[in-house]
Copies of this chain bind each other. A is one copy, B any other.
Amino acid sequence: MDADYHVAALGNAIVDVIYPTNDEFLLKHNIAKGVMTLIDEHRAEILVTAMSGGREIAGGSAANTMAGLASLGARGLFIGKVKDDRLGESFAASMRETGVSFLAEASDMGASTACCLIAVTPDGHRSMNTYLGASREIAPADIDTSRISHSEILYIEGYLWDAPQAKSAITKAIRAAKRAGRRVAFTLSDPFCVGLHRAEFLDLMKEDLDIVFANEDEASALFETARFDETLQRARNWRGIMALTRSEKGCVVVRDDELHVLNAAPVERVIDTTGAGDQFAAGFLYGLTHDKTLEDCGRLGAITAAEVIAHYGARPETSLARLAKEANLD
């Protein structure tokens, strides 16, 4: 390749803390069972202490995608904001362990490193408490334009499009990629997120984005369409590559006049769908940066998504490179 990295990703730098416990603990700490709750720094501090000893693993959507890309054998760079604290170190160590470069300067002021405190009860429920902290304080100064211009694709997590400084950081990164003739990929992240930023996302799609990942709900929120086929016709009219994921229905991938309808890869038993979209993006981006046809990019995405939903957790547990090889897609 004519670049240092296959993919440079911009996303939330979150440490997942997975803490096996019981219902009594949830009651004592006032944790809503089975849902995701956004929490503030004060409450995060209390829960981090209460849940100390939990398993810590770097999380966040684009960071998960980068872990998948590394497992496929691609070279990746992750850009995200952490604080110079214990969880910040934990995030950096966990990312590097996967083989992804993580070079951000940890901040010595501002909010603490973001974390998602996950209490897992014996009945399998996951009660999540997310503190976005330092992650959403990412700013233009955190963007290493030189490294981005040396990455084949810049990949951006839609969740990060939130605070004004973060938007400026993303815009700076896009400018750097475009100037270097690189492609820019974007994931819509969440239907609620699309609802908040619909006009801005459509604006980004006009000239800045080349590849968009969206599940059916996100794409329908973006285009304000009621039926999948309407969504698809809108996607076909866009100038870039759009990968529309549809859970067990597989995915549809469009680029200009090209259109592929691909099946989901078989999964013996679906255990936890967390991270399916992140890993789909990993497989797809691997394909795009390794001269695969668009059909094969989608097939790679289906295979990597299938791996992650067959077990708990949002990151691959088997070598994705081996799975790709078995499907003759390496």
* Chain B residues in 8 Å Cβ range of A274: none
A120 within 8 A of B: no
* Contact of A101 with B by CB under 8 A: no
Q: Does A310 contact B (CB under 8 A)?
A: no
Of A103-111, A172-180, A259-267, the segment with at least 4 beta carbons within 8 Å of chain B is A259-267
Q: Is A86 close to B, CB under 8 A?
A: no
A233 / chain B contacts, CB cutoff of 8 Å:
260
What residues on B are CB-neighbors of A263 within 8 Å? 227-228
A9 to chain B, nearest CB (A): 28
Cα distance A250–B257 when bound, in Å?
A: 22
The proximity string for A residues 284-299 relative to B, scoring 1 for CB distances below 8 Å and 0 otherwise, is 0000000000010010
- Report the minimal beta-carbon distance from A312 to chain B, rounded to whole angstroms: 27
Report chain B residues within 8 Å CB of A236.
259
Say if the beta carbon of A268 comes within 8 Å of chain B: no
Contact among B227, B249, B259 with A249 in the assembled complex (CB-CB below 8 Å): B249
Instruction: Judge if A232 is at the interface, Cβ distance under 8 Å.
Output: yes
In whole angstroms, how far apart are the Cα atoms of A232 and B252 in the complex? 12
Are B295 and A261 within 8 A (Cβ)?
Answer: no
How many identical chains are in the complex? Answer: 2
A326 at the interface (CB under 8 A from B): no
* Cβ < 8 Å to B, chain A residues 196-238: 227-229, 232-233, 236
Collect the chain B residues with CB atoms within 8 Å of residue A257's CB: 257
B residues near A295, Cβ cutoff 8 Å: 229
Q: How far is the CB of A125 from chain B (nearest CB, A)?
A: 29
Q: How far is the CA of A284 from the CA of B113 in the complex (A)?
A: 57
On chain B, the residues within 8 Å of A252 by CB distance are 261
* Proximity string of chain A (188-199) to chain B, C-beta cutoff 8 Å, 1 when within and 0 when not: 000000000000
In angstroms, Cα B252 to Cα A259, docked, is 12
Instruction: Name the CB-closest residue of B to A229.
Output: B260
Q: How far is the CA of A231 from the CA of B23 in the complex (A)?
A: 51
Which of chain B's residues has its CB closest to A249's CB? B249
Q: How far is the CA of A298 from the CA of B265 in the complex (A)?
A: 26
> Closest approach, in angstroms, between the C-beta of A273 and any C-beta of chain B?
18
CB proximity of A233 to chain B, nearest CB, Å? 8
The answer for the CA separation of A250 and B261 in the assembled complex, in Å, is: 12
6 closest residue pairs by CB, A with B:
A229-B260, A229-B262, A259-B259, A232-B261, A229-B295, A229-B261
> Could you give 14 example pairs across A and B, Cβ below 8 Å?
A227-B262, A227-B263, A228-B261, A228-B263, A229-B261, A229-B262, A229-B295, A229-B298, A236-B259, A249-B250, A252-B261, A257-B257, A259-B259, A261-B261
- Identify 5 new A-B residue pairs, CB closer than 8 A, beyond the known A227-B262, A228-B262: A227-B263, A229-B295, A236-B259, A252-B261, A261-B261
